[in-house]
Amino acid sequence: MDLSNLSSNWKRLQQTLPKASPASQSKPANPLKRKSSSEQQNGVQKQIPVQKHKAHATNSSSSLPPPKKRRMDDRYHSDFPGASTIIPRKDQPNPAALLTPSPLHPDIPNEGLSATATPGKYVALDCEMVGIGPTPDQDSQLARVSLVNYHGHQLYDSYVLPVVPITDYRTHVSGITPLALENARPFNVVQKEVAALLEDRILVGHALKNDLSALIMPHPKRDIRDTSRYPKFKELAMGKTPALRKLVDQLLGLKIQAGEHSSVEDARATMVLFRLEKEGFEAEAVRRFGRQLVAVKVDGEGAEEGPSKKKKKKKKKKKKKKKT
């Protein structure tokens, strides 16, 4: 072997080693680059959700599922903005049962005063009208009056003899027929009997202004609970006067007034609606008229708040001056 050639080859190898050393020294730099690239990847990962979120926001109409349509009764869920919450209490009886006549207190048409049911603190009223005069669709006259107690038992039901001739019986709505009025009672008799039942009691009904006007009868405003004027119920009709049929459908899930109306059924339905929101009705009455506390013993209703009796002021006896 030629050593001179070997040494010259070695020298050439040594000359190439310094050039290769930066490459060998760059090896630790490579991990740094990989580290920086991994850091960059981590940074990107942190930003990826943001970028995806932005893209998601810009294309929300295509990526998000379509919003669910709300039903009218969804307004009573607490997640609806500005909505009132109406939740039946656990001790609240089944509405369908409350709208069904009791076997112990059956509905007897034109019975007059019930022989079995007794009134309590709350009574519900409803009337049926017939048309009179040349514009029977506008002018009305009382034809039937019905009252139920707090439990929905029929307290009173009577057809009413017409004071002026009837030009439209409105049978398809009122259920009144000429045959039904053959045994009707005179208006003044019905008016007197109804007034006795309403005295010192809380009157429940729907659009009671019309019923009281037909009866030509006043009633203290503080003792009226009108389901057509209750704020929470009016929300269902967007602030307008709600129809009784729609309230019963939306809040109780029941159908009434499908054909001819029954004043007994309508009175019973208003009482069920009142019982659903009894605390709210009473709070509204307190807000408007102030609190009046009196223990009233009523049938099956317990001691309730009622109209207070004014206490008589005791007169102070004047001391007689002694004669000097």
Structure pTM?
A: 0.64
Judged against a pLDDT cut of 90, whether residue 240 lies above it is answered with: no
- pLDDT tens digits, residue range 56-66? 444 444 455 55
Does 291 fall in a domain? yes
Question: For position 1, what pLDDT does the model report?
Answer: 53
Question: For position 316, what pLDDT does the model report?
Answer: 59
pLDDT band at residue 20 under the 50/70/90 scheme: very low
What's the number of domains the chain is made of?
1
Judged against a pLDDT cut of 60, whether residue 278 lies above it is answered with: yes
Looking up residue 109, the CATH number of its domain turns out to be 3.30.420.10
Judged against a pLDDT cut of 70, whether residue 198 lies above it is answered with: yes
Q: Say if CB 152 and CB 300 are below 8 A apart.
A: no
Label residues 181-193 b or e (16+ Cβ within 10 Å = b). beebbebeebbeb
Report the C-alpha dihedral over residues 30, 33, 34, 35, rounded to 10 degrees.
120
Judged against a pLDDT cut of 60, whether residue 209 lies above it is answered with: yes
Does 246 fall in a domain? yes
Does 60 fall in a domain? no
Q: Which residues pair with 296 in a beta bridge?
A: 304
Does 52 fall in a domain? no
Question: For position 232, what pLDDT does the model report?
Answer: 93
Question: For position 158, what pLDDT does the model report?
Answer: 98
Report which secondary-structure segment, H or E, holds 141.
Answer: strand 140-149
pLDDT band at residue 297 under the 50/70/90 scheme: very low
Question: For position 113, what pLDDT does the model report?
Answer: 97
Does 139 fall in a domain? yes
Judged against a pLDDT cut of 80, whether residue 54 lies above it is answered with: no
Q: Say if CB 163 and CB 130 are below 8 A apart.
A: no
- pLDDT tens digits, residue range 98-134? 778 888 899 999 999 999 999 999 999 999 999 999 9
Tokens of 263: 């004043």
Does 167 fall in a domain? yes
Return d(Cα 160, Cα 211) in angstroms, integer: 13
- pLDDT tens digits, residue range 163-197? 999 999 999 999 999 999 999 999 999 999 999 99
**Mean of the per-residue pLDDT values for the chain?**
75
Does 115 fall in a domain? yes
Question: For position 238, what pLDDT does the model report?
Answer: 85
Report which secondary-structure segment, H or E, holds 29.
Answer: helix 3-58
Question: For position 100, what pLDDT does the model report?
Answer: 82
Does 256 fall in a domain? yes
Q: Which residue segment(s) compose the domain that 172 sits in?
A: 95-304
Concatenated DSSP letters of 201-270: SEEEESSHHHHHHHHT----GGGEEETTT-HHHHHTTTTSPPPHHHHIIIII-----SSS--HHHHHHHH
